[in-house]
Amino acid sequence: MDSSSARKRGRPPRAFDGQLDTRQALVRAGVAVLTEKGFAATGIDEVLRAVGVPKGSFYHYFASKEGFGAEVIDAYAAYFARKLDRFLRDPVLPPLERIRAFADDAERGMRRHGFRRGCLVGNLGQEMAALPEPFRHRLLAVFEDWQARMARCLEEARTGGGLRPDADCGALAAFFWIGWEGAVLRAKLEQDAAPLRRFTEGFFRSLPLAGPHA
């Protein structure tokens, strides 16, 4: 077996072949730590220890902690967009069931991490007063992207007859993410999935369903 095939299995190695690998590993570690602890409470040393690179290496790859944070936000946004598309564009499920599948998967993910991790974007939004101002626009852009993806799924439901023709899919999508982020925070505080389920059921009860449910 050659070394390249060996590296694809198991956990990522602590020794990296080149600058790109190390940079990506630092960003991945940053996503994990910031999702759990937030930006202000995370020290660069903690990220470096998670990757196993020398302390002096950080500023070789990033000009500042702020630059690192911006790259972590972008990486998390790209990861989460792929995750949303996997659920919200699933052709096997009806559109509204895709949303429920996403919520169920998120609950399993929070349980898997002992409710220590939530949403990186939500975490940073809560500490915005202590963050660099450019982060505000980055975080808002991420939320707007998530809302647009959710709105498209709801529009499919409306077109397919699952929602009433007058359903405001953009407003419903915004409502979902405002409420979902609060539910994730509450689940972390309670260390229990009940807030996620309570919000999800409330969201579905609020939908302007078509047909006999209207």
3-state secondary structure of 115: coil
What is the Cα–Cα distance from 154 to 170, expressed in whole angstroms?
A: 8
Q: Is the pLDDT of residue 17 over 70?
A: no
- Residue 56's pLDDT is 78
Residue 28, domain member (yes or no)? no
- Residue 124's pLDDT is 94
Name the least confident of 7-11, 25-29, 118-122, 189-193.
7-11
Residue 184, domain member (yes or no)? yes
Residue 23, domain member (yes or no)? no
Q: Is the pLDDT of residue 23 over 60?
A: yes
Residue 49, domain member (yes or no)? no
Residue 14, domain member (yes or no)? no
- Residue 4's pLDDT is 41
Residue with the two structure tokens 């989460």: 80
Which domain covers residue 74, as residue numbers? 70-213
Q: What is the mean pLDDT of the chain?
A: 89
Report yes or no: 30 and 40 within 8 Å, Cβ to Cβ: no
- Residue 57's pLDDT is 79
pTM: 0.85
List for the chain the helix, strand, coil content (%; round to 5): 70, 0, 25
pLDDT in tens, 52-65: 888 777 888 899 99
The residues that bridge with 209 in the sheet, in sequence order, are 163
CATH number for the domain including 136? Answer: 1.10.357.10
Residue 90, domain member (yes or no)? yes
Task: Give the number of domains in the chain.
Answer: 1
- Residue 68's pLDDT is 93
Q: Is the pLDDT of residue 3 over 70?
A: no
Assign 20 a pLDDT band (cuts: 50, 70, 90): low
Residue 13, domain member (yes or no)? no
The angle that helices 44-51 and 19-37 make with each other, rounded to 10 degrees, is 120
Residue 24, domain member (yes or no)? no
- Residue 53's pLDDT is 83
